Amino acid sequence: MADEALFQFLHNEVIQYIYKSSEHGEMENGRCITKLENMGFRVGQGLIERFTKDTARFKDELDVMKFICKDFWTCVFKKQIDNLRTNHQGIYVLQDNKFRLLTQLSAGKQYLEHAPKVRKHNGGKLTCQALFIPGQLSPHEWFSLPLSLQYLAFTCGLVRGGLSNLGVKSIVTAEVSVMPACKFQVMIQKM
Amino acid sequence: MTNAELFTLTYGALVTQLCKDYENDEEVNKQLDKMGYNIGVRLIEDFLARSSVGRCQDFRETADVIAKVAFKMYLGITPSVTNWSPAGDEFSLILESNPLVDFVELPDNHSSLVYSNLLCGVLRGALEMVQMAVEVKFSQDTLRGDNVTEIRMKFIKRMEENLPAGDE
C-alpha cells in the first residue's frame, strides 16, 4: 500500500516535468494542462474500474455525485468534500476547504520559485473558466496561471475520469479562492 | 477501492506519457531516474521527520534502514537485503512484489524499458542528501521475465556537506 506522501511527491514531480517540457517549446496552446488533465482522467478511470465491481448501481446522477464527494474523495484525499451544491440542472459545485494537494503548496516554498505572476479575474477571485477547453490557453496564459491552478488540472481529470467510468460524461473545472480551499465545478454533458 | 492504486496508476500514466514524449527506452529510463532523484532529495526530509531514525554508522545499517523502514513506510513492502560484496560496499534488495507494477505488462517494443527506474533515482537522491554517493540499478525485473525484482546498490563515496544539489 503506497504512502500518501509518495503520491504527493510524484504528483508534484509530474507537474514540474510537464512545465519544464513546455519551456522547451515542445507544447503549444495550453496543452500542458490538457496533458495533466488527460493523465488524471486515465487514473480516475482506473480507480473507479477496480471499485465498482462491488457497488450496486447508483439510482441517479445525484447519487453518483454523492459517491464522488464521499467515497471517492475519501479514498483519494482522505477526507470528504465539505460542501456539495447543485442547480439540479446538471451543474454541481464541490467545495473542499482544505484540499490536500494545495495544503502542501501553501506551506512549502520550494515549488514557488517558478510561480508566475498571479492573474485575477472576477473581482479578486482566481478563476480560469477556459482551463480545460483544449487549445484555448496560449503559452502566455499558461505561464500566467498561478501554480495552484496548475496543481488542480490532474485532479479535474481524476474526477472527469471517475465519472466517465460511472457512465457520466462531464466537463470539470476548478477554482481557487483562498488557499487551500478550492471548488470543482462539474458540468454534466448529455450523451 | 484503496489509495494504493492512486500512486500505482499515476505512475503508470507517467511512464505512458514519457514513452510518448521520448523516442527510445533509454531516454525514458534516464528521465525516470531524474524525476526519481528530484523526489528523493525532498523525500528524505519527510522520511527523517517521520521515522526518528538516527545517523547510520555504516553502509550495512543504511541497507537495513532502507529495506525495513523506508520501503515499509512508503511502499508497504520489506525487501530482503542480500548478496553483499566482500568489501561491504555493494548489496542487493530483493523485492518479492513490486507495488509499482501491479497490473502492468510491458508491450513487446519496450524491451529496454526499466519500468520502475524512478525508484533508483529516489534512492540515489535521498542518500545524496545524507552525504552518500551511490549507484543504484535494477539487476532483475519481474516485468522482464525474472522471478524476482532485484535492486543493486553500490556505495561510491562519502560526500562533503555542501549546498543541496539543484534539480536535475
Please report the beta strands in A59-128, taking only residues with DSSP state E, as ranges in sequence order.
83-86, 91-96, 126-127
- Cα A180 to chain centroid distance, Å, stands at 13
Among A90-94, A113-117, B83-87, whose mean pLDDT is lowest?
Answer: A113-117
The pTM score is: 0.84
Per-residue confidence (pLDDT) for residue A63, from 0 to 100? 92
At A119, is the pLDDT very low, low, confident or very high (cuts 50, 70, 90)? very low
pLDDT tens for A73-107 read 998 898 999 999 999 999 999 999 999 887 766 55
Coil/strand/helix, residue B124: helix
Q: How far is CA B149 from CA A6, B29, B40, B127, B143, in A?
A: 20, 16, 20, 21, 8
0.95 surpassed by complex ipTM: no
- Contacting residues of A for B46, CB less than 8 Å apart: 5, 9
Closest Cα of chain A to B145: distance in Å? 23
Size of interface A-B (CB pairs under 8 A): 87
The average confidence (pLDDT) of chain A is 75
Closest Cα of chain B to A108: distance in Å? 11
Q: What is the dihedral of CA A157, A162, A168, A173, to 10 degrees?
A: -30
The minimal CB distance from B5 to the residues A10, A39, A46 is found for A46
pLDDT tens for A129-173 read 323 333 344 445 544 555 556 778 999 999 999 999 999 999 998
Is residue B91 within 8 Å of B153, Cβ to Cβ? yes
Return the percentage of chain B with pLDDT > 70, whole number. 93
Burial (Cβ within 10 Å: 0-12, 13-18, ≥19) of residue A89: exposed
Closest-CA residue of A relative to B47 is: A5
- Contacting residues of B for A112, CB less than 8 Å apart: none
Q: Are B3 and A13 in contact (CB < 8 Å)?
A: no
Closest-CA residue of A relative to B12 is: A43
pLDDT tens for B115-167 read 999 999 999 999 999 999 999 999 999 998 899 999 999 999 998 866 556 66
CA distance B142 to A95: 42
The mean per-residue pLDDT over the stretch B27-33 comes to 96
